[in-house]
A and B are shown apart, each in its own frame.
Chain A
Amino acid sequence: MARMKFLCDVERCIDCNACVTSCNNEHDVPWGINRRHVVTMDDGVSGEKSISVACMHCTDAPCAAVCPVDCFYFTPDGIVLHDKDLCIGCGYCFYACPFGAPQFPEENSFAARGKMDKCTFCAGGPLPDNSVEEYKLYGRNRIAEGKLPLCAEMCATKALLGGDGDVVSDIYIQRVVKRGGRPDTWGWNTAYNFKSEKEKKP
């Protein structure tokens, strides 16, 4: 069985946020919920790097460990899913998650948050595959249709990869090998710093 993984290649991510938008659209999530987000480090300065993050489907998932109603479960291919009918909206998964993946539709007084929502790796939830109820609660189940997560599928620069961990790492290793360990033929320096070109023709 494959072990499903996301990988975001920071040398390729251009912070276009199309993964966020396509995810919101595909799963028709409530306004204010974003299952995926892009973080840019050193924004606006030379060497800035963007990385797209969502639920990382951890093997030892902190959200699942702290959930007081034990509503999380793992699919055989390592996707972390949760049952919204069991979720009580306590917010503990939000405290525990390092990536800020758990989202809540509300944020009201008396800690009324509604049911937690997070990236499902486009694998829906515990309800029957591709049923109307499943779509309403968890969004589309692309995995059941034999497809991979939409965010990764439609990424324009192929920065975001999602799927079988072995395949993803093979692709990434090929890229790293081609670029070399510290890519000078790549990214910001190549785009905006033409010194190397000048040096080439003295």
Chain B
Amino acid sequence: MITPKQRQTAAESLLEAQQTRVVIPQLSKSFPEMTLEDSYDVQRRYAALRVKNGARIIGRKIGLTSRAMQMASKMTEPDYGIMFDDAVFKDGASIAASTYLKPRLETELAFIMGEDLKGAGCQMHDVMRATEFVCPALEIIDYRTDVPRAIVDTIADNAAFAGLVLGGRIVRPFEIDVRWVPATLSKNGTIEESGVSAAVMGHPAAGLAWLVNKLATQGDGLKKGDIVLGGSFTRPVDVAAGDVIHADYGALGSIGVSFI
């Protein structure tokens, strides 16, 4: 465990790294005794600073949802981060790569909640019932600390969240098979990654159920209107200025962005 003062210092240094685009040393090195609980508190403090600066919280992202990513982080569960309104882009946007340190892209499904969802014992069917819409999404992830990272670094760093692009068709969750949404991710005309939404814990709603149960341990939950990024079903693809990105979700449509 680290002290509340150390957590606050960590949150401030992460915000500064994001603003100045200079990575900070790994928090796991600066604070070797940092725990998972500490790292989620650093994340909350970072979010409070962002809100103080005028950002609005729009929902949560879930990360480390695939077996491969969990094993790489020596974790047996996902992690989550907090999303802000000033990190949302429209389909077709030109995004300044210089806003980020080492931006990468992931393909996901976004869940838009139709009712509050809170409490322990949440299951996949509770998630499906509480979800109003599902739509394709691209997530921009970024690292504000040096690498290699321990899991506490990733979580404190807002689970690597950096941006969100929503696009394609907005559907009701029972209109489609949420497990079988396909995606190809192309960079400059070449397919770099492909995947199917079942890569997210067998079913993306399982990730949201995990999130709701996790939030319950902190007395928190999801609210009507919240957007939840369900977790990537492709591996991260590096992007840089000049790259043109096309994510094709088959029958659910596609999302295109360019980095300038």
Chains A and B bind each other: no
Interface residues in chain B, defined as those with a beta carbon under 8 Å from any beta carbon in chain A: none
